[in-house]
C-alpha cells in the first residue's frame, strides 16, 4: 500500500511539475495609465486570457510606459523583448502612410466612419505588420479629438506661434502649417509639459484631457471632432505561432471580445 501511495504521490507531483513547466508568463507594455479606458480594457483582456487558458498563459500588464516607453513598444514586441504590446497606431505613419489614415483630419470623424475605415485599413495593416513579425490582435479608437488651449481660438491664425503638442506625423504637419511649433510630448508627461511652458496647446481626446486633468492648466476646449485615432495591440507572430491551437484560440477569442468592449468603452467616454 505504501508503495502504491508513493507512486501516486510521485505521479501527482510529476503532473504538477509538467503543468508548471508548460505555463507561460507574458509581459505586456502599454503607454497609458490605469486610469485610461484603453488600459482598463487590456487588463480585462489579460484576465480573460488567463481564465480561458486555466492559468496556462498569464499576461502581466506594464502600464504608463513603465517597462518600455511608447516609442519603443512596437520594436520591443518585434524583437521578442516582450511577447505582446499596445501602441498608438498612427505613430507608425512615418513607416507607411496606411498606418496614419485614422489621423487624417476629418477623413473619419465619427465612430461609424472610423469602423468603416478600420475594415478597409485592417488587411493592409496586417500585411505591413507581418513583414515585421507582428500580428494585430485588436484595435480600439479614442473618442474624436478636440482642441485644448490656454486662450480662445477663433481661427487657425490664432494658433500661430503657439507651442503645440504633437503625437504623430500628421499633427506635426498640422502644427507646422498652422504656424505653431510642434513638440513631441507623451500622454503621461502632458501636465508637466504645460506647467513648464513646453507646450501651450494640443489636440487630443476627451479621455486624455480628463486623465491629464487638463482643466488645471488650460482654459478652453473646442470639440472639433477632427479624427478618431486608434490604439492597436500586437503580438509577436513567431511567439504566437509556437503556441498550441487551444491557447491561440483563447487569445483570439479574448481579443475579439476586447475589441468590441473597447469600442463601447470609447463611446461611453465620449458621451460622459
Whole-angstrom distance, CA of residue 197 vs CA of residue 38: 28
Mean pLDDT of 199-214: 91
Same domain, 213 and 259: no
- Of the residues 222, 238, 254, which one is the last residue of a structural domain? 222
Same domain, 22 and 104: yes
Q: Are 46 and 137 in contact (CB under 8 A)?
A: no
Q: What is the pLDDT of residues 132-175, one digit of tens each?
A: 999 999 999 999 999 999 999 999 999 999 999 998 888 899 89
**What pLDDT is attached to residue 15?**
42
Mean pLDDT of 70-90: 98
Same domain, 46 and 124: yes
- Compute the Cα dihedral for 206, 212, 216, 218 and give only its sign: negative
**What pLDDT is attached to residue 4?**
42
Whole-angstrom distance, CA of residue 53 vs CA of residue 45: 12
* Strand, helix or coil for residue 7: helix
CA-to-CA separations, 178 to 101, 106, 184, 229, in angstroms, rounded? 20, 16, 16, 21
Mean pLDDT of 216-228: 93
CA-to-CA separations, 232 to 76, 148, 199, 253, in angstroms, rounded? 15, 25, 27, 16
Q: How many domains does the chain have?
A: 2
Same domain, 120 and 30: yes
Helix axes 111-130, 245-271, angle to 10 degrees: 150
Q: What mean pLDDT is reported for the chain?
A: 91
**What pLDDT is attached to residue 207?**
87
The highest-confidence range among 3-12, 18-27, 201-210, 228-237, by mean pLDDT, is: 228-237
Kindly indicate the confidence band of residue 194, based on its pLDDT and cuts at 50, 70 and 90. Answer: very high
Same domain, 128 and 150: no
Same domain, 69 and 98: yes
Whole-angstrom distance, CA of residue 11 vs CA of residue 15: 6
**What pLDDT is attached to residue 111?**
97
- How crowded is residue 20: how many other Cβ atoms within 10 Å of its Cβ? 9
Same domain, 201 and 133: no
Q: Domain containing 23 — which CATH number?
A: 3.40.190.170
Domain that holds residue 185: 146-222
Q: What is the pLDDT of residues 85-129, one digit of tens each?
A: 999 999 999 999 999 999 999 999 999 999 999 999 999 999 999
Same domain, 55 and 179: no
pTM assigned to the model: 0.85
**What pLDDT is attached to residue 7?**
39
**What pLDDT is attached to residue 168?**
86
Whole-angstrom distance, CA of residue 88 vs CA of residue 99: 10
Q: Which residue's C-alpha cell is 505613430?
A: 91
Contacts with 204 (C-beta within 8 Å, 6 or more apart), sequence order: 145, 146, 148, 165, 167, 187, 190
Q: Domain containing 215 — which CATH number?
A: 3.40.190.10
Same domain, 171 and 198: yes
Q: State yes or no: pLDDT of 8 exceeds 90.
A: no
**What pLDDT is attached to residue 272?**
77
Whole-angstrom distance, CA of residue 72 vs CA of residue 65: 9
Contacts with 127 (C-beta within 8 Å, 6 or more apart), sequence order: none
**What pLDDT is attached to residue 20?**
41
**What pLDDT is attached to residue 162?**
96
Cell of 182: 510642434
Amino acid at each position: 500500500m505504501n508503495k502504491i501511495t508513493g507512486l501516486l504521490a510521485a505521479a501527482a507531483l510529476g503532473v504538477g511539475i509538467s503543468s508548471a513547466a508548460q505555463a507561460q508568463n507574458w509581459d505586456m507594455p502599454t503607454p497609458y495609465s490605469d486610469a485610461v479606458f484603453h488600459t482598463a480594457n487590456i487588463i480585462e483582456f489579460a484576465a480573460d486570457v488567463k481564465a480561458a487558458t486555466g492559468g496556462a498563459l498569464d499576461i502581466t500588464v506594464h502600464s504608463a510606459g513603465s517597462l518600455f516607453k511608447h516609442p519603443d513598444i512596437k520594436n520591443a514586441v518585434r524583437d521578442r523583448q516582450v511577447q505582446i504590446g499596445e501602441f498608438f497606431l498612427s505613430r507608425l505613419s512615418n513607416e507607411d502612410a496606411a498606418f496614419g489614415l485614422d489621423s487624417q483630419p476629418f477623413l473619419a470623424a465619427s465612430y461609424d466612419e472610423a469602423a468603416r475605415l478600420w475594415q478597409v485599413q485592417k488587411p493592409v495593416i496586417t500585411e505591413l505588420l507581418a513583414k515585421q513579425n507582428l500580428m494585430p490582435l485588436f484595435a480600439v479608437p479614442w473618442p474624436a479629438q478636440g482642441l485644448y488651449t490656454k486662450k480662445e481660438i477663433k481661427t487657425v491664425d490664432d494658433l500661430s506661434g503657439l507651442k503645440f503638442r504633437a503625437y504623430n506625423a500628421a499633427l506635426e504637419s498640422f502644427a507646422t502649417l498652422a504656424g505653431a511649433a510642434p513638440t513631441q510630448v507623451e500622454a503621461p508627461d502632458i501636465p508637466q509639459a504645460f506647467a513648464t511652458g513646453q507646450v501651450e496647446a494640443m489636440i487630443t481626446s476627451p479621455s486624455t484631457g480628463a486623465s491629464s486633468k487638463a482643466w488645471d492648466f488650460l482654459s478652453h476646449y473646442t470639440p472639433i471632432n477632427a479624427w478618431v485615432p486608434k490604439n492597436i495591440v500586437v503580438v509577436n507572430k513567431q511567439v504566437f505561432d509556437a503556441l498550441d491551437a487551444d491557447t491561440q484560440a483563447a487569445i483570439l477569442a479574448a481579443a475579439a471580445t476586447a475589441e468590441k468592449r473597447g469600442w463601447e468603452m470609447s463611446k461611453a467616454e465620449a458621451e460622459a
